[in-house]
Structure 1
Amino acid sequence: MNNSTFKFTTRESSTNFTTYSIGPLDHLEICMYSISFLVGLPTHSYIIWLIITGTGSRIASEFFMLNLSVCEIANALNCFFFVLSIWFSNFLILRMFLAGFSITGRPLFQSVICVERYLAVVHPVTFLKFKPLRYRVIISIVVWTLTLGSCLCCIYILVLLNSTGYAWFFMLQFVFFLPIQLFCLVAVLIALKRSGPGERGRERKQENHMKRRAFNLILITTVNMVMLYVPILVSALFANLTKKMAKPQNL
């Protein structure tokens, strides 16, 4: 995902080869997304290989991470097709379809992982109840269904050429997912500061280590989401505001 996604209204979509002029910012975007593709695709492919070739218990415990890596591969392909769509507009529809993995798939799987770590630390009994793989499969199916629905919505917005609707579609999901991750982060931090009654020194160290790992995972996920999506939202809202202010001047 990038702020150039909101510029789809400026490019031709009826020809195979476009005459879209490339400026300095476009060169920077091409470099960034080329690096994202070249780094992201092999990295997440390797993560998937590590999880699949591991033990059965590891596949169950890392099942959401496995799905997130698959989603990240789709995001890496989105970067690749973004570069191609600059010159070949036929890739624009495919790029908009893959954008749904960035808008919905990635933050949704990240939120599911955060909730899973939250339950493991704060509500261990509930976590053990839903620990079997079948529950993770059901949740993943729901997430993938929502993600594919988001992909279709992105294509629909492309057909309407509605950049404002696209910005709101993106922002509403960010506003929904971020509080979930922040809640999990604060709850695990509070649990980390507290010690259970009757805990011995060694048991306390082991439990604190587990809580600290969960806290670090949620913190990294939340910071990653903020760093990726806040600049995009700010640039998109600024672009839409500039567009609205320019309309009266053109009349």
Structure 2
Amino acid sequence: MALDSPSSNDSLLHQILPNEMECLISRPSSLIFLSFYITITLLILPICIFVLYLGLQRWRQRSSTSSTTSHSDIFTFHMVLIELVDYSGFTLYLYGLYTVHVIIYRVGYFVVCFTWYGRNSFHVLTCVERYLAVVHPVTYMNLKGERGVRIRNICIGCVWLIFIAVTPLNIEKPLFYFDLSLTIIALGIVFFCSMSVLCVLIRPGPGEQGGDRKIVDQSKRRAFFTIMAILAIMLVNCCANLMWFVSAVSGETICEMAVADNWLSLPSSLVLPLLFLHRAGTLTCCKKITK
């Protein structure tokens, strides 16, 4: 990315921005970053818009009935909002780099930092919801009413509020240990959910015989595939975050690796929207998984 700007502005940019982000103005890294932005524009953005379109259609259909939207679908809709906010942040990010506009760049950095926290949180909430549905079905059924909706909304509100408050601290001084701890905790929760669902899947419960057994197994299998998909994505993210953490703490940050870390986060942006589209029946190529 060629930045035709005075050296004084470039120097100011280097002084104000975090040291680990300075590499974005170098040409190899800027090309990697630009290619990532083009990819999310052509891939993530259309999928997110389509998910919101389907969600709006379902809401209109259910407004005439007494049915409610599932908790996992609500988490997916908030995840899509996170991705749209993330796209806006990357847009400001890129514009700030091209124009060497420090304030716009920092606003974009703020937005991108927040979406990293929110993305992991909604992955965890989705896994916990699937875990309750399979391992504690009675409790899960009781949470389908107004009480469950209140708990769900409180959890969602906490995700947005807490990380909006934490993100400015991360901008002033990168919270490497805090971020790594959150990643490990989230990974541990998802791993526990996956193992618990697997244990329930391989042993029959009381009253699960014959045709009922097949129906229950299909439901459990779908929940297990959902959690395992999220677990695989979070393992990739954890490895990427660990490499970034080690290089940043050691002071030997590899510029290209830092920028390429965005590519490793791409699957985590896709997993919940694609699972939603699969449940909606629009991904016909994946129907055999649940049969």
TM-score, normalisation: structure 1: 0.79
8 Å CA contact 1:13, 1:90 repeated in 2: no
Residue matched to 1:146? 159
Residue matched to 1:210? 219
What is the aligned-residue identity percentage?
25
Deviations 1:70-108 (A, max 9, x none): 122222223323322323322233223213443321111
Name the CA distance, whole Å, in 1 between partners of 2:42 and 2:153. 27
> Aligned pair in 2 of structure 1 residues 181, 172: CA closer, same or farther (>3 Å)?
same
Name the CA distance, whole Å, in 1 between partners of 2:236 and 2:167. 22
Gapped regions of structure 2 (runs ≥ 5):
1-11, 254-291
Deviations 1:41-60 (A, max 9, x none): 22112112212211433624
8 Å CA contact 1:184, 1:218 repeated in 2: yes
Name the CA distance, whole Å, in 1 between partners of 2:42 and 2:150. 30
Picking from 22, 33, 48, the partner of 1:29 is 33
TM-score, normalisation: structure 2: 0.69
Residue matched to 1:81? 92
- State the 1:137 CA deviation: 4.8
8 Å CA contact 1:74, 1:101 repeated in 2: no
Runs of 4 or more above 4 Å deviation:
none
8 Å CA contact 1:107, 1:177 repeated in 2: yes
Name the CA distance, whole Å, in 2 between partners of 1:64 and 1:121. 18
Helix, strand or coil at the partner of 1:131: coil
Residue matched to 1:182? 191
Name the CA distance, whole Å, in 2 between partners of 1:45 and 1:152. 27
Q: Which moved more, 1:214-223 or 1:136-145?
A: 136-145
Name the CA distance, whole Å, in 2 between partners of 1:178 and 1:135. 24
1:155 aligned to 2:168? yes
Counterpart residue type for residue 14 of structure 2: R
1:11 aligned to 2:20? no
> Aligned pair in 2 of structure 1 residues 116, 146: CA closer, same or farther (>3 Å)?
closer
Counterpart residue type for residue 47 of structure 1: V
Q: Which moved more, 1:117-126 or 1:127-136?
A: 127-136
Describe how 1:47-86 pairs up with structure 2 within 5 A: 47-54=51-58, 55-56=61-62, 57=67, 59-61=69-71, 62-86=73-97
Counterpart residue type for residue 251 of structure 2: T
- State the 1:173 CA deviation: 1.2
Name the CA distance, whole Å, in 2 between partners of 1:198 and 1:149. 43
Deviations 1:153-197 (A, max 9, x none): 322332x3x23xx22232121112111111111111111101123
RMSD over aligned CA atoms reads: 2.8
Residue matched to 1:45? 49
8 Å CA contact 1:97, 1:151 repeated in 2: no
Q: Which moved more, 1:122-131 or 1:132-141?
A: 132-141
- State the 1:127 CA deviation: 0.1
